[in-house]
């Protein structure tokens, strides 16, 4: 009888150990998370840093907010600094994702993975009191080159034009210079330089004689959009190519996106992410 009780106790003990081991084993498999970040019980967690274009920044902030709402244990830090700085940050491994509002240079393209997340138009803007409603691409070029210096030369009032531009290294300036100025013309050194798209818009808004260029996603009632060659920077005109001053919004990564970074970029390119893009920009096909 004693031996039977001992045998029964051993069997029950072994059964209990097997049960506990089975329940408390490895974490449940879930989506991979990169850069050392794990996924426990199928839940993403970790940090992503995005740095670069101030034109892309507001869109990245909206996309990051939506992604973090779905994944509360993920933090997406969005920073500015300009397109060139963002690309360099990705190459150097300082940022997980670099944001650019211009096309990549050959030497940059050789070092990063390019992902287009949207298309954007660069709008020519003036003060709301300015009666000018349309300029030709050639007139815009000459204004920025310093060859046209008074609004009366293009059908406006007799006042000197205050030319407002972005700083060197800005993706918006790079795209504007390539499309509008071409290889020969240069932006006048007398132009007023602003360090961000928002800075250009604010400078035009407080100067009745000002002219600037900003991303269509940054437009508001404080400035007036001027048509270029009779075409306004609408989504339809940007998609069709009828509006000429447009550029891509890019994310770049040092290596092929993986883990948490890939999860975020997949979200950005998903129907849900592109719906956020479509509110102010042109989604990718």
pTM: 0.78
User: pLDDT > 90: what percent of the chain?
Assistant: 83
More confident residue, 68 or 17: 68
Whether the predicted pLDDT of 19 surpasses 70: no
**pLDDT tens per residue across span 206-265:** 999 999 999 999 999 999 999 999 999 999 999 899 999 999 999 999 999 999 999 999
User: What average pLDDT does range 184-198 have in this prediction?
Assistant: 96
Cβ(252)–Cβ(116) under 8 Å?
Answer: no
Q: What is the mean pLDDT of residues 11-18?
A: 35
Site of tokens 């907010």: 65
Q: Which of the two residues, 123 and 18, has the higher pLDDT score? A: 123
Higher pLDDT, 199 or 41: 199
The pLDDT tens digits for 41-76 are: 678 999 999 999 999 999 999 999 999 999 999 999
Which segments within 83-206 are labelled E, that is strand? 97-100, 113-126, 134-135, 162-166, 192-194
Percent of the chain's residues with pLDDT above 70: 86
CB 218 within 8 A of CB 198: yes
pLDDT attached to residue 285: 75
Looking at residue 53, what is its pLDDT? 95
Q: What is the mean pLDDT of the chain?
A: 88
pLDDT, position 69 = 98
CA angle in degrees (0–180, nearest 5) for 74-77-81:
165
Is the CB of residue 170 less than 8 Å from the CB of residue 85? no
Residue 14 is predicted with a pLDDT of 35
Average pLDDT over residues 103-116: 97
User: Could you tell me the domains of the chain?
Assistant: 39-120+248-278 (3.40.190.10), 121-246 (3.40.190.10)
Question: Is residue 271's pLDDT more than 90?
Answer: yes
Q: What is the mean pLDDT of residues 5-33?
A: 34
Q: What's the pLDDT band for 34 if we cut at 50, 70, 90?
A: very low
């Amino acid at each position: 009888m004693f031996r039977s009780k001992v045998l029964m106790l051993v069997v029950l003990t072994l059964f209990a150990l097997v049960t506990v081991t089975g329940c408390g084993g490895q974490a449940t498999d879930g989506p991979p998370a990169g850069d050392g970040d794990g996924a426990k019980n199928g839940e993403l967690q970790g940090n992503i840093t995005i740095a670069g274009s101030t034109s892309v920044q507001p869109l990245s902030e909206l996309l990051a907010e939506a992604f973090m709402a779905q994944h509360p244990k993920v933090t997406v830090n969005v920073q500015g600094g300009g397109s060139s700085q963002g690309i360099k940050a990705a190459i150097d491994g300082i940022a997980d994702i670099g944001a650019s509002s211009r096309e990549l240079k050959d030497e940059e393209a050789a070092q990063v993975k390019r992902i287009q997340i949207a298309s954007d138009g660069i709008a020519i803007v003036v003060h709301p009191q300015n009666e000018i409603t349309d300029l030709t691409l050639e007139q815009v070029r000459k204004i920025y080159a310093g060859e046209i210096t008074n609004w009366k030369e293009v059908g406006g009032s007799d006042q000197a034009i205050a030319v407002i531009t972005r700083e060197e290294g800005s993706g918006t300036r790079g795209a504007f210079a390539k499309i509008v100025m071409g290889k020969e013309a240069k932006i006048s050194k007398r132009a007023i330089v602003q360090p961000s798209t928002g800075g250009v818009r604010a400078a035009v808004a407080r100067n009745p004689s000002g002219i600037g260029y900003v991303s269509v996603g940054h437009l508001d009632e404080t400035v007036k959009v001027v048509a270029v060659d009779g075409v306004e920077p609408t989504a339809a005109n940007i998609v069709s190519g009828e509006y000429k001053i447009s550029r891509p919004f890019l994310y770049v990564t040092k290596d092929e996106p993986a883990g948490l970074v890939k999860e975020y970029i997949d979200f950005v390119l998903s129907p849900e992410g592109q719906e956020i893009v479509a509110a102010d920009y042109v989604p990718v096909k």
